[in-house]
Each structure stands twice: as structure tokens, then as C-alpha cells.
């Protein structure tokens, strides 16, 4: 199998940050779930959480970054008690176009977190909800027993607040349950809408399909089943050079709980920093033009219809 660096060189499309649209902030690796596919190996036993000081550094950076979206993730970002403070600060910045929170949904039924749907709605926060399948058995296999029911209850509550049924945006995320690529995003979205609508009356705006990265728990799972080499070959063989022009690392920076900077959340998991600078000591302008750090895991972003935190790169695929 040729390397990702060889793939990029053959395509003649060097990867650099040529625009800056998204500040992705990982608020820590604490999570109420311990999912089989998690690239960060987040869970209830993790203790890494972004401090108020680093949150303030993120706010100062965002204020000087021009027109951007801020994409808040984890772990479960709701597990960090600074989340509401962070969102309140972002909402006061006129240059921040969208605030996105990535939620596993189930955490919104945890003690001390049940008020968050109303808080997010009142601040116009867009929600991206991980829902690996519309079938209960498949969700249980990835996330554990009982999680599907929690997800359904929370989605109904979000609908009642205007998410997916009014001006508040609600997106679901599908990721495959095994060593294969996602199916066409448009077709899967139609299936999700039909099944969740018919069975539960649930509505949402769009579905994002995201390929599983061969890192973290998913990699360990593949190794245990003897499928790692085959999955890596599949990603490389299925990669499309046209996707290189749209990969998310060209237009975003990822911040970890300590304020360190990465080209993406996946490089964060692998400990591959974009620069030795931190969010508190750099401006968005200084990050422009930096080469992207890559590895063979990057084939997951270019395989098939492409994959990013905003779903398929080929929206028709």
C-alpha cells in the first residue's frame, strides 16, 4: 500500500491551511459513554477537561479570527462545566457566525445536564448529534444497552424546542458499524428520516456520514478481529484525489483541552501538533499557509465520497 504522502504528491495538491473558517474546540475527553469506535478513547474514567483559563484563550483567539464557525466537541463537551460560560462568551462575538455543539444526546439526561437543551436553544446553538444508526440493535452494539431509548427521548425534546422543526438546526451523524465505508449520504439521510419520522415522529435537518478513523478504540477493535490491514487497504484503494481540495484540515484548526493546536481532532488523538504554539499565543493569521501534518489515517478523509466533521465531501454521494 502506498503512503498518504505519496497519494498527495501524485495528485499534485499539497495540503496547506489556505483559509480559516472553523475553530474546533475539544473541551476534554470526559464522556458518559465509552463507544467502540471512539478515536479519542473518551469515557467516564478520563479526567482531561479544559480549564476556564484555556476557554478564555479560545475566546480571545476567536474574537480576532474574522468570520468563523466555532465547533465544540469532546468527549462529551457537556461534561465540562465551562461549556455554558464558553457559549455565552462566543455569543457576544459578532464575528462568530455559528456555534455548534457535538452531542451524544444521552448525556442530556444525566443529572445536572437536563437543563442544557433549553440553554442551547436560547443561545441559538446548532446541534450535531451522534446517532450511529436508526436501528436500536446497531446503536446498542456501538454505544451500549439503553442508549438508543435515551437518544430518542432527547431528540423528541429537541424537536419540541424547535430543533429540526423550526429555525434551530439539528443534524445527525452516522458512522459505520464495521470495517467498511459509509453508504451514500443522501440515501442514508432519506432512510433515517423515514424510519425516525414514521416510528417516533422525529425530525432533523440533515445527516452527516463520517468514515471511522483507524485509530483509538476502532483500531484496537480492528486489530482484535484481524481486519486492520484490510480496512487500511480499503481506505487507500477507495481514495479520490478530488477530495483533497475539500478536506477539513485546509480550513480549520483543532484545539485540545490544554490549548494545544492540531490540524484536526484525529491528529489530536495521535499527538501530532500543527505547531508548538498554543491557542493563547497565536493568531488566526499566523496559522495560515502552514503545511498540514498527515499520515496514513488521512485516507479515511479522502476515501469514497470523502469524510469530514461536516459529513461527506461529495454531498451527492
CA distances for 20 relative to 55, 106, 169, 247, angstroms: 20, 32, 22, 12
What class does CATH assign to 4-302? alpha beta
296 CB-near residues (< 8 Å, 6+ apart)? 1, 3, 4, 232, 236
Task: Determine the pLDDT at residue 317.
Answer: 53
E strand or H helix that includes residue 129 = strand 126-130
Domain positions in the chain are 4-302
Spatial distance between the Cα atoms of 211 and 306, rounded to a whole number of angstroms: 8
Per-residue pLDDT of the chain (317 residues; tens, 9 = 90+): 789 999 999 999 999 999 999 999 999 999 999 988 889 999 999 999 999 999 999 999 999 999 999 999 999 999 999 999 999 999 999 999 999 999 999 999 999 999 999 999 999 999 999 898 888 888 888 787 888 999 999 999 999 999 999 999 999 999 898 899 999 999 999 999 999 999 999 999 999 999 999 999 999 999 999 999 999 999 999 999 999 999 999 999 999 999 999 999 999 999 999 999 999 999 999 999 999 999 999 999 999 999 999 999 986 55
Spatial distance between the Cα atoms of 224 and 45, rounded to a whole number of angstroms: 22
16 CB-near residues (< 8 Å, 6+ apart)? 250, 289, 290, 291, 292
E strand or H helix that includes residue 278 = strand 273-278
Task: Determine the pLDDT at residue 139.
Answer: 82
Name the residue with cell 465509552.
34
Report residue 204 as a C-alpha cell: 432533523
Spatial distance between the Cα atoms of 3 and 14, rounded to a whole number of angstroms: 14
- Indicate whether this model's pTM tops 0.75: yes
Spatial distance between the Cα atoms of 200 and 151, rounded to a whole number of angstroms: 11
If you compute the radius of gyration of the chain from its CA atoms, what whole number of angstroms results? 19
DSSP 8-class letter at 211: P
Amino acid at each position: 500500500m502506498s503512503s498518504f504522502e505519496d497519494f498527495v504528491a501524485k495528485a499534485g495538491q499539497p495540503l496547506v491551511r489556505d483559509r480559516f473558517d472553523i475553530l474546533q474546540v475539544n473541551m476534554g475527553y470526559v464522556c458518559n459513554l465509552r463507544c467502540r469506535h471512539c478515536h479519542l478513547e473518551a469515557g467516564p474514567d478520563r479526567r482531561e477537561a479544559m480549564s476556564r483559563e484555556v476557554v478564555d484563550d479560545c475566546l480571545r483567539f476567536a474574537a480576532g479570527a474574522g468570520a468563523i464557525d466555532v465547533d465544540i466537541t469532546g468527549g462529551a463537551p457537556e461534561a465540562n462545566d465551562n461549556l455554558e460560560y464558553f457559549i455565552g462568551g462566543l455569543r457576544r462575538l459578532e464575528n462568530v457566525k455559528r456555534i455548534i455543539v457535538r452531542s451524544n444526546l444521552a448525556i442530556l439526561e444525566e443529572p445536572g445536564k437536563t437543563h442544557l437543551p433549553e440553554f442551547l436553544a436560547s443561545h441559538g446553538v446548532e446541534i450535531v448529534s451522534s446517532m450511529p444508526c436508526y436501528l436500536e440493535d446497531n446503536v446498542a452494539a456501538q454505544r451500549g444497552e439503553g442508549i438508543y431509548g435515551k437518544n430518542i427521548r432527547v431528540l423528541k425534546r429537541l424537536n419540541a424546542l424547535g430543533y429540526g422543526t423550526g429555525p434551530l438546526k439539528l443534524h445527525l451523524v452516522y458512522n459505520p458499524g464495521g470495517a467498511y465505508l459509509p453508504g451514500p449520504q443522501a440515501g442514508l439521510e432519506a432512510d433515517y428520516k423515514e424510519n425516525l419520522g414514521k416510528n417516533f415522529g422525529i425530525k432533523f435537518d440533515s445527516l452527516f456520514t463520517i468514515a471511522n478513523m483507524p485509530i483509538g478504540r476502532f483500531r484496537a477493535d480492528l486489530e482484535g478481529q484481524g481486519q486492520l490491514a484490510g480496512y487500511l487497504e480499503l481506505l487507500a484503494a477507495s481514495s479520490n484525489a478530488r477530495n483533497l481540495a475539500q478536506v477539513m484540515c485546509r480550513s480549520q484548526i483543532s484545539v485540545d483541552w490544554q490549548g494545544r493546536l492540531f490540524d484536526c481532532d484525529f491528529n489530536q488523538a495521535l499527538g501530532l501538533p500543527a505547531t508548538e504554539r498554543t491557542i493563547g499565543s497565536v493568531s488566526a493569521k499566523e496559522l495560515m499557509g502552514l503545511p498540514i501534518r498527515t499520515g496514513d489515517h488521512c485516507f479515511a478523509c479522502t476515501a469514497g465520497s470523502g469524510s469530514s466533521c461536516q459529513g461527506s465531501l461529495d454531498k451527492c454521494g
